[in-house]
Structure 1
């Protein structure tokens, strides 16, 4: 009997060979691990023979019964679906067991955008001249001003140029822009304002004396390059210092998208800057404060006041 965990390892190697990020590989793998754990709890062996449509459907239903968030259940579904497709492609299974199994449709919960008072408190929490304060302010301002994913912020490098002096990676403080490597290894420019440029300049100056200053990675820790998980932890800590409960990097991305649309930005431009390939993401991020934007638009129009 073939153990699912053995196939899991081969599947992970395949995903890495396809160029998927470590985080994506981990998320897909979690679905397999949790499914195997559930099989064991049911007194069943976590083998390929148990990887069937009825078993998968029962597991997903139990996740819902146990109060798991719909979005989490859909993530588990996607992980197993991708795994099942790989098993078929590799000849381990004759047919896709989830082909007729519909994914759960989660109801998107609007993420509250950050108020100016909260952002001011957050900047105050980063006030200081030490390395950690300068780094955290620069990181938070990049997340807020550029609307990048936390993994994209952590992948930023110091300025890297080609033989002709053209920026090929990293940040350009004079032009107020950075080149971001997003999903699918697609590179796109993002732009930031004067205060973010100043914060980055201050951080880069203290970075010069850091033990890992020779690394290309822009944001550093005492262990080397700052990871996405490390950035989430820094944001959470600064949020607690500012009195913001359970602050996570994605709130900056939602706030940035909201501000962009509130100030007359076009959806097609937002889509390009955010690195989205689907219009679905526009709706998801635009929902964070859609009522506020609709009210502001109606108040600006004031059609009845013109007649």
Structure 2
């Protein structure tokens, strides 16, 4: 997926665009990843567009980001919650905090309009894990006689076998694989790289794909995953669409990459694996993440522990 910040900025009024270009330059200088910069800028341009709705009442907010008020931000958050979700509204809140904090640091503003705006409360959704039988059904839809089938099997096995994020698998380069040591180098959030091992079945699936990939018209591209037609990279959005299609074919509802990530965390905990090691393998820096991931299966693990400990049974 191409994150075209300049195109986003060009859609805003002149004064907004001027500030956003300067902010984007500052973000680049701080080495923020392209995805982070794009999401930050997207939130600011969405706020600008939203304020345009009130041009007939008070249009200065759309023309000038320095005129944005607390009420504007609260109205924008309500709109995000009603048209998207509380989770999306929270993400926009955090992005806008960065923008207006930068304006304060640049001495363009004395106080951020978000200074006294409460964050939207995010409802915790339990993401169901995906069991072995469901994964097999999805893999069974992949025809190894075709390029797409071989490619999709390799992608799915990478998710199931390593618990990686969608963006990490999508961004793999050919050189990120070491087929001698059976390792992949993932480029995680915040520019944090990590090396993970994959198993024999995943290694064989990758080997089949690499051999078939060498005959593709776009074989010279550095990106690992290639689109079926043309000389193009298979984007993260393309992988999302592929998983949705494979899920429908297999009769597995709500199939997406993060279900395997949650499953990986669940199975790791179930096997008694160390939480610190799990954080390293999955690229987490916050202690909150191990509690969140696999939470939908926590009751199952608790019941298994209860049965194993037999508390009160020896009386």
Q: TM-score w.r.t. structure 2 length? A: 0.87
Shift in Å at residue 199 of structure 1?
0.6
Instruction: Identify which of 65, 82, 89 aligns with 1:48.
Output: 65
For residue 4 of structure 2, what is the aligned residue in structure 1? none
In the TM superposition, residue 209 of structure 1 has moved relative to its aligned partner by 0.8
In the alignment, does 2:209 pair up with 1:212? no
Q: CA separation in 1, counterparts of 2:25 and 2:241?
A: 28
Kindly indicate whether residue 189 of structure 2 is the aligned counterpart of residue 183 of structure 1. yes
Give the 3 Å change call, closer, same or farther, for CA 13–242 of structure 1 in structure 2.
Answer: farther
Aligned mate of 1:286, from 291, 294, 302: 294
Offset of residue 33 of structure 1: 2.2
Q: CA deviation at 1:243?
A: 1.7
Of 248, 260, 275, the residue aligned with 1:267 is 275
Instruction: Tell me: CA distance 1:173–1:80, structure 2 relative to 1, closer, same or farther (3 Å).
Output: same
Which sits farther off after the overlay, 213-222 or 253-262? 213-222
Match of 1:241 in 2: 249
Deviates more, 1:284-293 or 1:71-80: 284-293
* Other structure's SS at 1:190 match: strand
- What is aligned with 1:229? 237
1:18 aligned partner = 30
Q: Is the CA contact 2:33–2:191 (under 8 Å) kept in the aligned structure 1? A: no
Tell whether 2:48 aligns with 1:36. Answer: yes
Cα distance in 2 between the residues matched to 1:97 and 1:215: 46
1:50-199 map, 5 Å: 50-64=67-81, 66=82, 68-159=84-175, 170-199=176-205
CA contact (8 A) 1:2 1:48 kept: no
Q: Give me the whole-angstrom Cα distance separating, in 1, the residues matched to 2:21 and 2:199.
A: 44
SS in 1 for 2:312: helix
Q: 1:173 to 1:305 in 2, by over 3 A?
A: farther
Q: After superposition, what is the alpha-carbon deviation per residue over 1:181-202, rounded to whole angstroms, capped at 9, x for unaligned?
A: 2122222121221111111111
SS, match of residue 304 in structure 1: coil
Deviates more, 1:115-124 or 1:26-35: 26-35
Question: Counterparts of 1:285 and 1:50 in 2: how far apart (Å)?
Answer: 41
Q: What's the secondary structure of 1:294's corresponding residue? A: helix
Question: Structure 1's 22 and 242: CA in aligned 2 closer, same or farther, altered over 3 A?
Answer: farther
Counterparts of 1:20 and 1:157, CA distance in 2: 20
Q: Any runs of at least 4 consecutive aligned residues in structure 1 with deviations exceeding 4 A, and if so which? A: none
Which segments of 5 or more consecutive residues in structure 2 lack a partner in the other structure? 1-12
Shift of 1:35: 1.4
Corresponding residue pairs, total: 296
* 1:37-70 deviations in Å (ceiling 9; x for gaps): 2211123321224322222123213433x26422
What is the deviation of 1:2? 6.5
Partner of 1:252: 260
Gaps of 5+ in 1: 160-169
Q: What is the CA-CA distance between 1:117 and the residue it aligns to? A: 2.1
